Each structure stands twice: as structure tokens, then as C-alpha cells.
């Protein structure tokens, strides 16, 4: 796929396939992501329906259609500001010891030859977001099932109705386990959002935060092993920079989408109002005009202005938490194991999500 990206950046950086537009270069990706007045995230008419939601005219709907991911200002700003400070780096520092203890505990249960996704990369972010939301950690297997239910259907909205029963189980579970004494949940419950919006907000935090971080952790283990740089990272303490390079080189999310709010011109091509634009983050992150030796994995790359957490007003709310979890995960993994060898992999079956469903590794524990 990366060969196709490189070819498209040179030949057709803005391309219409007869159904949707595709953008491949960094400058165009950044323009689409940043310019919310022309390229909208409101793919579900949330901004138009918000008054009907809040005055009770809409009583039943799919909660995950109404989140900050599918909204534009001023609604987006209202939603984001509700919890933004909780996900700020200073506030998250209180979680560091909990994340580290959790990572150590999970790694102690990993055998010399084991599936590192199932044993480590999946449960760590689920346990952390469960703690933040005040949800029972022992239900982490359910959270993973529900996360896959929604995340693996990204780009396939019609399929949500195929799995309606499981989706209803998720909604019922969240409703029954809302803890008003939890700071994060309390802010959402006390807001002026409708019940549908409140459920959508909490489900988004539960699911979006663990799928992508699982991908980041597993991608890091694969990249560091493939390029044989574990020792360099340990010796030079490159954990922070190397995680940023994983985000650039192997982004957890390959692409996102916007809809044109008016007639727009990119590369002398006209995108009409109402047409969809796919932003290929994975391609923008390899743009030769922005990143020197863009096809190489450089663990100490600096600067590294990748777009893996988005850009502009939709810059990922949970990015500081994902970075914290990934750094601690890789630090603890590198302290626990040496001589990492990849035996078997199975990719996540989705063109939007980029990660591993299975990652069998052989590693020698440090005694």
C-alpha cells in the first residue's frame, strides 16, 4: 500500500475515484484536517440535530453517531472542553505509577513464547480507561469484544445493524455502570447533553482510547524488532522519540474522512459541496517533502510533525494518554525481555485501523 501512496503523491496527489476524493500529500491532508469551515466532520448531521436531541424530539438513535468526532464548532468545542483538562499531561501524571504497575503485572504473565497482543497490548489500555471511567476492570474482556464490534466496522456503517444485539448490550452495560462519583463520568452526566449524547460520549472514551493504543503498542514492538533497535533505544533512552516515529511510520489509523461544506479547489481540482474526502494519514506521514528519508524508520527523528493524532481542532483528545501508555509499555517490555523474535502475525482486518490481531513473539526474560 505504501508503494501506491508514493506513486499517488507524485502522480495524483488529489484523486477522485468516482465516489470519493483521496488526498495523499501532507500539505493537502493538513489543509483538509485544519479547515473545518470548508471540510466538515459532521457526517451524521449532529450539528443540525443537536436541538432535537436535547429537547426530546429524538428519543432513540445510535449514540455513537453523536460524538465530538462527528461534530463541528461550536458544538465540537462544547463537547471537547467538557473533559479536555482531565486528559492533559499534568493531570495524567497521577496515573503513571498505576500504568507502570499494570504493565509489569501483565508482562509477568507473558511466557517466553506468547501472543503479546492478547496478553499485553489489548488489556493495558482497557484497564487504564476502565480506571478513568470508574468501570469494573474485571469486565475487560467484554470491553474488548464491544470495541471490536464498533472499531472493526469503521468505514462500514451499514454493518452496525447486523450486530445490533451486541451493541444494545454495550449501551445497557454503560447505562447500568455509570458512576456519578467518578470525576470524568460526573462531568458528562451533569452536562446539558441529552441521554443519547451522554452515552455516545462515554462509549467513545471507552472504545476509541483502547483500540488505537493497542495498535500503537503492538506496532512499536514489531517496528523495534524488525529494525533491530531495542538496544539503541535502551542505551540512548529514545523511548519518547521512538514512539513518535512509530506513530509516523506505522500509524494506528490509516485514514480519516471529511465532507466538503462548499465548493473547494485543491491542486486545481474542484471538490463539490457534499462530496467526501478521504485523508490518507499514512501517506501524508511518508511525504518526501516534509520528512527526510521518509521511507526509513529513524528512532530519533526530529522534528517529527506526523498527523497520526490528527491536526487542528480534532487533534486527538486522548493523545497524551496514548503517548504515556505506549512509553511505559515499551519501557517495561524492554526491561523485561531481550532477544525479541517475531514468530507469527495476523493483521487487524480493517483498512482504516492499522495493527495486529495476533502477534506471537519469542523473547528471553532478563534475569
Render pLDDT for 114-125 as a digit per residue (tens, 0 to 9): 999 999 999 999
DSSP code of 348?
A: -
Tell me the mean pLDDT in the region 69-94: 95
User: Taking 80 as the threshold, does the pLDDT of residue 364 lie above it?
Assistant: yes
For the chain, give every domain's residue range: 2-365
Q: What is the pLDDT of residue 196?
A: 95
Sequence-ordered list of residues with C-beta below 8 angstroms from that of 204, at least 6 positions apart, any chain:
64, 67, 68, 69
Q: How far apart are CA 134 and CA 146, in angstroms?
A: 17
Sequence-ordered list of residues with C-beta below 8 angstroms from that of 198, at least 6 positions apart, any chain:
188, 189, 191
Render pLDDT for 160-176 as a digit per residue (tens, 0 to 9): 556 677 788 888 888 98
Q: Give residue for cell 521518509.
A: 294
Please state whether the predicted TM-score (pTM) of the whole model is above 0.85.
Answer: yes
Please answer whether residues 205 and 199 qualify as being in contact, where contact means their C-beta atoms are separated by less than 8 angstroms.
no
Please answer whether residues 307 and 69 qualify as being in contact, where contact means their C-beta atoms are separated by less than 8 angstroms.
no
First to last CA, the chain: 41
Tell me the mean pLDDT in the region 57-72: 91
Output the CA–CA distances (angstroms, integers) from residue 261 to 32, 40, 276, in the order listed.
11, 6, 10
Outline where 12-151 has alpha helix (H). Answer: 26-34, 46-54, 75-81, 89-92, 96-108, 116, 123-133, 140-151
Tell me the mean pLDDT in the region 344-348: 95
Output the CA–CA distances (angstroms, integers) from residue 271 to 14, 18, 40, in the order listed.
10, 12, 13
Q: What is the pLDDT of residue 318?
A: 94
Band (pLDDT 50/70/90 cuts) for residue 159 is: low
Q: How far apart are CA 133 and CA 74, in angstroms?
A: 26
DSSP code of 290?
A: T
Tell me the mean pLDDT in the region 327-336: 96
State CA 14 to chain mean position distance: 25
Q: If we measure between CA atoms, which residue out of 155, 125, 173, 158 comes closest to residue 276?
A: 155
Q: What is the pLDDT of residue 207?
A: 85
Please answer whether residues 39 and 296 qualify as being in contact, where contact means their C-beta atoms are separated by less than 8 angstroms.
no
DSSP code of 251?
A: -
User: Taking 70 as the threshold, does the pLDDT of residue 153 lie above it?
Assistant: no
Could you tell me the fold of the domain covering 2-365?
Answer: Cytochrome p450 (1.10.630)
User: Taking 70 as the threshold, does the pLDDT of residue 277 lie above it?
Assistant: yes
Q: What is the pLDDT of residue 211?
A: 84
Q: What is the pLDDT of residue 163?
A: 63
User: Taking 80 as the threshold, does the pLDDT of residue 209 lie above it?
Assistant: no
Output the CA–CA distances (angstroms, integers) from residue 154 to 89, 115, 160, 166, in the order listed.
28, 25, 9, 16
Please answer whether residues 283 and 254 qualify as being in contact, where contact means their C-beta atoms are separated by less than 8 angstroms.
no
Band (pLDDT 50/70/90 cuts) for residue 46 is: very high
Q: How far apart are CA 53 and CA 196, in angstroms?
A: 8
> All 3 cell numbers of residue 225?
524488532
- The neighbouring-strand residues paired with 22 are 15, 278
Mean pLDDT is lowest, of 34-48, 138-152, 268-282, 322-336, for: 138-152
Mean pLDDT of the chain: 93
Q: What is the pLDDT of residue 155?
A: 46
Band (pLDDT 50/70/90 cuts) for residue 158 is: low
Render pLDDT for 88-118 as a digit per residue (tens, 0 to 9): 999 999 999 999 999 999 999 999 999 999 9
Give the percent of the chain with pLDDT over 90: 80
Amino acid at each position: 500500500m505504501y508503494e501506491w501512496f508514493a506513486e499517488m503523491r507524485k502522480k495524483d496527489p488529489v484523486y477522485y475515484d468516482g465516489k470519493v476524493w483521496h488526498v495523499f500529500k501532507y500539505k493537502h491532508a493538513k489543509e483538509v484536517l485544519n479547515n473545518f469551515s470548508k471540510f466538515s466532520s459532521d457526517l451524521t448531521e449532529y450539528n443540525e440535530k443537536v436541538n432535537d436531541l436535547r429537547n426530546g424530539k429524538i428519543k432513540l438513535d445510535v449514540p455513537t453517531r453523536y460524538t465530538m468526532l462527528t461534530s463541528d464548532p461550536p458544538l465540537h468545542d462544547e463537547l471537547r472542553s467538557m473533559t479536555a483538562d482531565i486528559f492533559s499531561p499534568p493531570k495524567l501524571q497521577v496515573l503513571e505509577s498505576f500504568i507502570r504497575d499494570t504493565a509489569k503485572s501483565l508482562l509477568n504473565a507473558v511466557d517466553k513464547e506468547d501472543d503479546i497482543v492478547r496478553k499485553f497490548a489489548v488489556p493495558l489500555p482497557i484497564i487504564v480507561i476502565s480506571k478513568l471511567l470508574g468501570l469494573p476492570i474485571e469486565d475487560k474482556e467484554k470491553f474488548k469484544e464491544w470495541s471490536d464490534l464498533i472499531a472493526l466496522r469503521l468505514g462500514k456503517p451499514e454493518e452496525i445493524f447486523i450486530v445490533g444485539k451486541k451493541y444494545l448490550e454495550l449501551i445497557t452495560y454503560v447505562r447500568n455502570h455509570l458512576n456519578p462519583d467518578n470525576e470524568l463520568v460526573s462531568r458528562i452526566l451533569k452536562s446539558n447533553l441529552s441521554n443519547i449524547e451522554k452515552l455516545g460520549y462515554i462509549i467513545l472514551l471507552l472504545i476509541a482510547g483502547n483500540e488505537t493504543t493497542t495498535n500503537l503498542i503492538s506496532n512499536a514492538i514489531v517496528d523495534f524488532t524488525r529494525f533491530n533497535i531495542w538496544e539503541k533505544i535502551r542505551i540512548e533512552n529514545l523511548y519518547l522519540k521512538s514512539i513518535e516515529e512509530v506513530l509516523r511510520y506505522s500509524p494506528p489509523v490509516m485514514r480519516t474522512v471529511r465532507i466538503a461544506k462548499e465548493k473547494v479547489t485543491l491542486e486545481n481540482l474542484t471538490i463539490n459541496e457534499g462530496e467526501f474526502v478521504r485523508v490518507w494519514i499514512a501517506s501524508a506521514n511518508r511525504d518526501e517533502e516534509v520528512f527526510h528519508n521518509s521511507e526509513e524508520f529513524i528512532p530519533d527523528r526530529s522534528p517529527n510533525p506526523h498527523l497520526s493524532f490528527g491536526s487542528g481542532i480534532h487533534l486527538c483528545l486522548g493523545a497524551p494518554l496514548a503517548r504515556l501508555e505506549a512509553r511505559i509499555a515499551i519501557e517495561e517490555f524492554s526491561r523485561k525481555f531481550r532477544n525479541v523474535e517475531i514468530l507469527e502475525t495476523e493483521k487487524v482486518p480493517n483498512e482504516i485501523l492499522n495493527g495486529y490481531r495476533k502477534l506471537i513473539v519469542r523473547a528471553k526474560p532478563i534475569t
